[in-house]
Amino acid sequence: MPATAQEHIQSFLDYLKYQKRYSRHTIVSYQTDLLAFFDYLEVQYQETSPENVKPAFVRSWLADTKAKGISSKTISRKVSTLRSFFKQQLKQGIILVSPMATVISPKIGKRLPQYVEKKDMETLFDHVEFPADWNGFTERIVIQLLYNTGMRKAELINLKETQVDTFNVALKVLGKGSKERIIPVSKEMIAALKQYISQKQLTIPDADQSCLLVNEQGRKLDPKYVYSFVKKYLSLVTTIDKRSPHILRHTFATHLMNNGADLNAVKELLGHSSLAATQIYTHNSIEKLKDVHKKAHPKA
C-alpha cells in the first residue's frame, strides 16, 4: 500500500489513541478495517488516496464483504469505522466531501441482551461452594463485584486498592476513554473487599501492590482466566447460551431496570456515553411486564 494511505491511517489511529483515548483492542479493530478497505481499493480500483474515494467504491467493498458471509453487525461496525475515518479527514481538510454521506449501514435485528435470573444469582452465592483457597476467595469476590457494579471485565482487572472508597461506600472505576465514574456498592461488598485486601497482605505479602485483585502468584488476573471461571460458575446455575463476565453486566443493568431504576442513572452506572446504548435494557423490562401481565391478568 502506498505510503500516503499508510500515513493517513496512522494519523487517524494516533488521534484515536492520544485524543480519544480508545483502548488498544478498539484501535486494532479500526486498523484492521481500514487496512482491509484500502487494500481492496488498491486491487479493484488502483486507488488509495482518501480524497479520490467515491461512495461507489465503499458500496462495492461492503458488497464484497457481505458476499464472504460476514454478519450485518460486523459490516455495520466497518461502516462506522469508515465514517469516523473520513470525518477526521474532512476536519483536517484532506477531503471536501465524505464518501460516507450517502452510504447506509445494514439493518441489524435487535437482540435482547441475555441475563441471569435473580433467583439463579441467589443460588450461586447462597448454595454454590467455592474452593477454600486463594483462587476460590478471588473467584467469588470477582463474581460479586461484576454483579454488584456492572463494570466491564477490563475495568475490574485493572482496579487498584486506592479505588475502593470505604468512606463513601463506593468504587471509583476508570472506564473507556479514561473516564472515571463512581459506583455505589453495599456495605457488605465494602466489608468483603476490606477482608480480601487484609487477607492478601497476609497470604501473598509480595503481591503486586498496584492491583486490587491478584492470582495466587500475586499478579494481576489474566482476562482468559476470569472468563473461564465466570463461565464455569454460571454454568452451574443457568442454562442461558452466553455465560461470560459481560453477561453479569447485562444482569446488573436488567435487574436494576426491572426494579424501577431510572434509565439515566443506569446509564451513569454503566459508564455509557449515550442513552441509546442503555435503552436496550428497557426492552427486557417491557418483556418482563408482558410476562407478568400474561400470567396474572384473567383476560390476558
Would you please indicate which residues are annotated as catalytic (active-site) residues? Answer: 152, 176, 246, 249, 272, 281
Residue 226's alpha-carbon distances to 152, 175, 222, in angstroms, are 12, 18, 6
Burial class (CB in 10 A: 0-12, 13-18, 19+), 147: buried
Determine the length of the chain. Answer: 300
For residues 159, 162, 167, 172, the Cα torsion angle rounded to the nearest 10 degrees is -40
CA 41 to chain centre: 31
Adjacent-strand bridge partners of 183: 171
In angstroms, the CA 261 to CA 80 distance is 31
Burial of 180 (C-beta count, 10 Å sphere; 0-12/13-18/19+): exposed
Q: Which three cell numbers stand for residue 70?
A: 460476514
